[in-house]
Amino acid sequence: MDKHPSAIKPESWLVSAGRSSEPGAPLNVPLVPASNFILGTERGYSRDDATPTWEALEEVVGGLEAGRALAFASGMAAIAAVFDQLSAGAVVALPDDCYQGVAGLAAAGAERGRWTVQRLALDDTAGWIRACATADLIWLESPSNPLLAVADLEAICAAPRKPGAIVAVDNTFATPLNQQPLEFGATVSLQSATKFIGGHSDLLAGVATTRDDALYHAIRTSRELNGATPGTLEAWLAVRGARTLAIRLQRAQETAMVLAERLEAHPLVERVRYPGLPSHPTHATARRVLRGFGSIISFELRGGAEFADAVCRGVGLVRHATSVGAVESTMERRAAIPGQTHLPPSLLRLSVGIEDAEDLWADLDQAIRAAAP
């Protein structure tokens, strides 16, 4: 790739990054299934030195996030590498609503005495600013999973922080197209490339991106020592999927707005949580810090868990499955998952794909009405 990402639009970067410009080179990023290489250059063993396929993924995401990226075996592997930087007795500030894997990792470390954990509401900007002065890791997830609260990253990342503190932002739901945490001053931005980057429900991968050279090398060392390296096929699939991220996200979030507005007006829906709706508690913040509102909707039904489960069983075009960010729409009742008991029992998380908006609405509406008590 000849052009720096700042010289072209993100949509063009997604298509062009990671490709070779050498005459005779393959147009597409090659799949390099090699664990080791002929000695004589800096690349000898893939766990330590990466492969050209991983590096292509790192170039694509790093350019979008405006930093240096490191690819991992999964989003949780990237997250664990950040937590791995904490010293014994560290203080972790964590949102009260966040991905259950992160909450579980933080709780497990606290139980072993590795660190202490403070939980804060994501919209408590003043509380987060205070936490920056005392916490060693300020962990933000914006929009949050699954209540879709949006943090004021601009204010929090600019706040004075404890020397050596890490401000980490899980940017998976926003994607680097809608939000660039490093531009606000975050130390590291995380992506579960399993979701929007890959976009086809066919891989596990994660990416951590930073501008801090010391942190970059420390996270890379954690990846090497813990063996948290991505598979070559997975990295190749993630690069291939990323090529269409811009058009997938545009279509999906346009449809998400249509569905969110209709769900909000539905007589059997109690509440809709979508950052693009004026009724959303952090809508004003979302308008200021996000370039787009994303394609995830959470909504509560006027009934209990059984009603919500019946709706999940009743959809056809929408798939009853976990995870988000793929071409197909998926939906699940999040409170049914261990560790999510803080959620309303009837809350459904809908990940909107690229299907026709009217077909999706017809499917949702019939499922809700058919399952009504």
138 within 8 A of 157, measured Cβ to Cβ: no
Q: Assess whether 267 and 290 both reside in one domain.
A: yes
Asked whether the predicted pLDDT for residue 1 surpasses 60, the reply is: no
Residue 261 — very low, low, confident or very high, per pLDDT cuts 50/70/90?
very high
Tell me if 102 is assigned to some domain: no
Tell me if 322 is assigned to some domain: yes
Tell me if 324 is assigned to some domain: yes
Dihedrals φ, ψ of 229, to 5°? -85, 150
Note the pLDDT tens digit of each residue in 204-234: 999 999 999 999 999 999 999 999 999 999 9
Q: Assess whether 308 and 346 both reside in one domain.
A: yes
Annotated catalytic residue, options 99, 211, 248, 334: 99
Asked whether the predicted pLDDT for residue 188 surpasses 80, the reply is: yes
| DSSP-derived secondary structure for 327-360 | SS-EEEEGGGSTT-TTS-TTEEEEE--SS-HHHH
Residue 2 — very low, low, confident or very high, per pLDDT cuts 50/70/90?
low
User: Among 189, 214, 242, which residue terminates a domain?
Assistant: 242
Average pLDDT over all residues of the chain: 96
Q: What is the maximum alpha-carbon separation in the chain?
A: 70
Asked whether the predicted pLDDT for residue 148 surpasses 60, the reply is: yes
3 flagged as catalytic: no
Which residues make Cβ contacts (< 8 Å) with residue 257, sequence separation at least 6? 274, 276, 293
Q: Assess whether 354 and 282 both reside in one domain.
A: yes
Annotated catalytic residue, options 68, 161, 195, 349: 195
| DSSP-derived secondary structure for 191-226 | EETTTTTT-SS----EEEEES-HHHHHHHHHHHHHH
Q: Assess whether 286 and 336 both reside in one domain.
A: yes
- Cβ count within 10 A of residue 340: 16
Asked whether the predicted pLDDT for residue 5 surpasses 80, the reply is: no
Tell me if 297 is assigned to some domain: yes
pLDDT of residue 3: 64
Annotated catalytic residue, options 170, 243, 251, 334: 170
Mean pLDDT value of segment 98-104: 95
CA 264, distance to chain mean position in Å, is: 25
Assign residue 367 the CATH number of its domain. Answer: 3.90.1150.10
Tell me if 284 is assigned to some domain: yes
User: Among 242, 270, 293, which residue terminates a domain?
Assistant: 242
Secondary structure of residue 270 in the 3-state scheme? strand
195 flagged as catalytic: yes
Q: Looking at the DSSP assignment, which residues form a beta bridge with residue 95?
A: 120
Note the pLDDT tens digit of each residue in 282-291: 999 999 999 9
Q: Assess whether 265 and 354 both reside in one domain.
A: yes
99 flagged as catalytic: yes
Peptide bond between residue 33 and the one before it cis (omega within 30 degrees of 0)? no
Q: Assess whether 174 and 322 both reside in one domain.
A: no
Distance from C-alpha of 171 to C-alpha of 223, rounded to nearest angstrom:
20
216 flagged as catalytic: no
Tell me if 103 is assigned to some domain: no
Q: Assess whether 298 and 205 both reside in one domain.
A: no
Q: Which of 24-38, 178-192, 292-306, 334-348 has the lowest mean pLDDT?
A: 334-348
Q: Assess whether 38 and 9 both reside in one domain.
A: yes
The range of the structural domain enclosing residue 278 comes to: 245-371
Q: Using alpha carbons only, how large is the chain's radius of gyration in Å?
A: 21
Residue 341 — very low, low, confident or very high, per pLDDT cuts 50/70/90?
confident
Asked whether the predicted pLDDT for residue 373 surpasses 90, the reply is: no
Tell me if 156 is assigned to some domain: no
Q: Assess whether 174 and 226 both reside in one domain.
A: yes
Distance from C-alpha of 116 to C-alpha of 135, rounded to nearest angstrom:
10
Residue 339 — very low, low, confident or very high, per pLDDT cuts 50/70/90?
confident
Asked whether the predicted pLDDT for residue 4 surpasses 90, the reply is: no
Q: Assess whether 208 and 294 both reside in one domain.
A: no
Q: Assess whether 189 and 316 both reside in one domain.
A: no
Percentage above 70 pLDDT, the chain? 99
User: Among 242, 265, 295, which residue terminates a domain?
Assistant: 242
Assign residue 186 the CATH number of its domain. Answer: 3.40.640.10
Mean pLDDT value of segment 33-52: 94
pLDDT of residue 26: 93
Note the pLDDT tens digit of each residue in 115-125: 999 999 999 99
pLDDT of residue 197: 98
Q: Assess whether 353 and 270 both reside in one domain.
A: yes
Annotated catalytic residue, options 47, 114, 162, 262: 47
Tell me if 207 is assigned to some domain: yes
Number of structural domains found in the chain: 2
Q: Which residue has the higher pLDDT, 337 or 177?
A: 177
